C-alpha cells in the first residue's frame, strides 16, 4: 500500500481500567481497502496472545472497530472490544494456557496494529500501530500486604479518606492468591481484601472458621471501612465458603454476598474439590442466610454445575426474597471481569498431589464474553444498592 499520507491508528482512551471500553480507529486508508486489525499481548509468563478481525475501510478510508463489521478472524460483526475478549495464544503456544494478571501495579500492555489484506497479514509489516494500557488499579488505589493474626492476603483501598464499604474476596480451588479482581473493586470504590486461604500451611488440619472470621474482622475493623457495610464475593469454591460462613458463623454477618459459578451443596463429611474441608458433617442450610444474595452462573459450566435449585431451598426456608440470580446460556465456569479472554479448558494444578491436569470449564467465546460484561455491570449495581445506598452511607471519594 503506497500513498502520500500514511495510515493513522488511534486507541481512545489509550490508558483505561480493564472494565472500560476503548475505541480503535484507523484513518487515511484508501476507500474500500481490506485490512486486518490485530491485538498482541505478551503475558507475565512470556506467552504471546492475539486477536484479530478483518475489516474493509469505508468511502472515507476509515475503519472504526466500534462501528464497523468484522468480516472474519477471531470474531465477526460489530464488536467494539473483540480485540480483547477473543484473544487466544498465538499458534504454536503451550497447551492449556490461562491469561491472568499477577502484578496489578503494572498495566496489561496491548499492541494494536493494522495490516493490509485479510490473508497472510502476520508476514506483513504493520501499516500503523498503537499501544493500549489496561489497568486493574486506578491511580490512587493503595495495595497493602496482609500477614497478621495468622491471616494472609492483600488489601486494596480506594483513593480518598473514606470510610468505604468493603468486600472479602475469595477465589476458587487451585487459584492461590489472586489480586486483580480486588484491585478492580477498589478502583470502583470498595475496600477489597483478597484472601489467601489455600496455602499449604493452612491445610495441615481442617480449615477452621476462625481463619475466615479473623480475616472478616481485619477488614471490618479497618479505619477506612464502614464496619456494618462489609460484603463477601466468592468464585467457585470461594462461593461455597461464602455460603457456609454466612449461614453458620456467629461473627461473620455480611451485608450481602455475591457468588460466581457457585455450588451451594456440601454433602455431610465429604471433601471439597480443592482437597480439604471447610465444614465437617454439615450441609449448606441456605435458610440460615439473612442477607441479600446474588448468584452468577454460566449454563454451560462443565466444571461445577449446580447440584440443587437454590431458589427452591430458599423458598422452602422463606428466604427466596433475598435471592437475585443471573444465569447465562453459553457461558462457562470461569466468569471473569469484562473483556477477559474466554478459556474453555486450561491447565489446573491439583492442590494436594500437585498433579497438572487439563480441566474443562465450559462456555463458548461470544456468549461467555457477553456474560462477563453483563454480569460485572450487574454485580457493581448490586453492590452499590446494598453497600452504598443508605442515608447513613456516604464515602468521601
Q: Supply the Cα-derived Rg of the chain in whole angstroms.
A: 23
pLDDT greater at residue 313 or residue 375: 375
Report which secondary-structure segment, H or E, holds 338.
none
Q: What is the mean pLDDT of residues 353-375?
A: 91
**Which pLDDT score, from 0 to 100, does residue 279 have?**
42
- pLDDT at 269 exceeding the cut of 50: no
Confidence grade of residue 307 (pLDDT, cut at 50, 70, 90): very low
Percent of the chain scoring above 90 in pLDDT: 70
pLDDT (mean) for 365-376: 98
Cell of 231: 460484603
Sign of CA dihedral 283, 154, 215, 181: negative
Give the pLDDT confidence of 140-193 residue by residue, as tens digits: 999 999 999 999 999 999 999 999 999 999 998 765 789 999 999 999 999 999
Phi/psi region, residue 271 (left: phi>0; alpha: psi -120 to 50; beta: rest), is beta
Question: Cα–Cα distances in Å, from 352 out to 22, 245, 276, 303?
Answer: 42, 23, 9, 18
Domains and CATH numbers, the chain: 8-135 (2.60.40.2240), 142-388 (3.40.50.1820)
Model pLDDT, residue 366: 98
pLDDT at position 245 over 80: yes
Active site residues: 236, 301, 333
Q: Are the beta carbons of 122 and 140 closer than 8 angstroms? A: no
pLDDT at 290: 92
Q: What is the pTM of this model?
A: 0.91
Mean pLDDT of the chain: 88
Structure confidence at residue 202 as a pLDDT band (50, 70, 90) = very low
Q: Given a cut of 70, is residue 1 above it in pLDDT?
A: no
Contact 386, 293 (CB under 8 A): no
Amino acid at each position: 500500500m503506497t500513498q502520500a499520507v500514511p495510515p493513522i491508528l488511534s486507541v481512545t482512551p489509550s490508558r483505561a481500567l480493564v472494565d472500560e471500553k476503548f475505541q480503535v480507529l484507523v484513518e487515511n486508508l484508501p476507500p474500500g481497502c481490506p485490512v486486518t486489525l490485530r491485538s498482541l499481548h505478551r503475558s507475565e509468563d512470556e506467552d504471546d496472545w492475539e486477536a484479530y478481525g478483518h475489516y474493509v475501510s469505508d468511502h472515507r478510508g476509515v475503519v472504526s472497530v466500534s462501528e464497523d463489521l468484522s468480516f472474519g478472524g477471531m470474531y465477526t460483526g460489530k464488536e467494539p472490544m473483540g480485540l480483547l475478549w477473543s484473544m487466544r495464544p498465538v499458534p504454536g503456544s503451550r497447551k492449556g494456557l490461562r491469561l491472568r494478571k499477577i502484578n496489578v501495579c503494572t498495566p496489561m500492555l496491548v499492541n494494536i496494529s493494522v495490516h493490509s489484506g485479510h490473508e497472510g497479514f502476520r508476514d506483513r509489516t504493520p501499516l500503523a500501530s498503537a499501544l493500549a494500557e489496561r489497568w486493574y488499579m486506578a491511580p490512587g488505589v493503595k495495595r497493602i500486604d496482609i500477614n497478621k493474626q495468622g491471616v494472609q492476603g492483600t488489601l486494596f483501598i480506594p483513593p480518598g479518606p473514606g470510610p468505604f464499604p468493603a468486600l472479602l474476596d475469595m477465589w476458587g480451588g487451585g487459584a492461590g492468591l489472586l489480586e486483580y479482581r480486588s484491585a478492580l473493586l477498589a478502583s470502583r470504590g470498595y475496600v477489597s481484601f483478597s484472601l489467601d486461604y489455600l496455602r499449604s500451611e493452612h491445610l495441615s488440619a481442617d480449615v477452621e472458621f476462625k481463619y475466615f472470621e479473623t480475616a472478616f474482622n481485619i477488614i471490618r475493623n479497618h479505619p477506612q471501612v464502614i464496619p456494618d457495610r462489609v460484603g463477601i464475593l466468592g468464585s467457585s469454591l470461594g462461593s461455597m465458603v461464602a455460603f457456609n460462613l454466612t449461614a453458620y458463623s456467629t461473627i461473620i454477618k455480611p451485608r450481602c454476598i455475591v457468588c460466581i459459578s457457585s455450588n451451594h451443596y456440601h454433602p455431610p463429611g465429604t471433601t471439597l474439590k480443592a482437597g480439604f474441608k471447610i465444614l465437617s458433617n454439615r450441609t449448606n442450610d441456605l435458610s440460615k442466610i439473612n442477607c441479600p444474595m446474588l448468584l452468577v452462573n454460566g449454563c454451560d459450566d462443565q466444571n461445577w454445575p449446580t447440584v440443587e435449585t437454590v431458589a427452591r431451598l430458599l423458598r422452602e426456608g422463606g428466604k427466596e426474597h433475598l435471592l437475585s440470580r443471573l444465569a447465562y446460556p453459553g457461558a462457562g465456569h470461569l466468569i471473569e471481569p469484562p473483556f477477559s479472554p474466554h478459556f474453555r479448558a486450561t491447565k489446573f494444578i491439583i492442590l494436594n498431589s500437585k498433579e497438572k491436569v487439563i480441566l474443562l470449564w465450559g462456555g463458548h467465546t461470544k456468549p461467555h464474553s457477553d456474560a462477563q460484561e453483563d454480569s460485572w455491570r450487574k454485580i457493581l449495581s448490586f453492590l452499590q444498592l446494598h453497600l452504598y445506598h443508605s442515608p447513613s452511607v456516604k464515602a468521601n471519594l
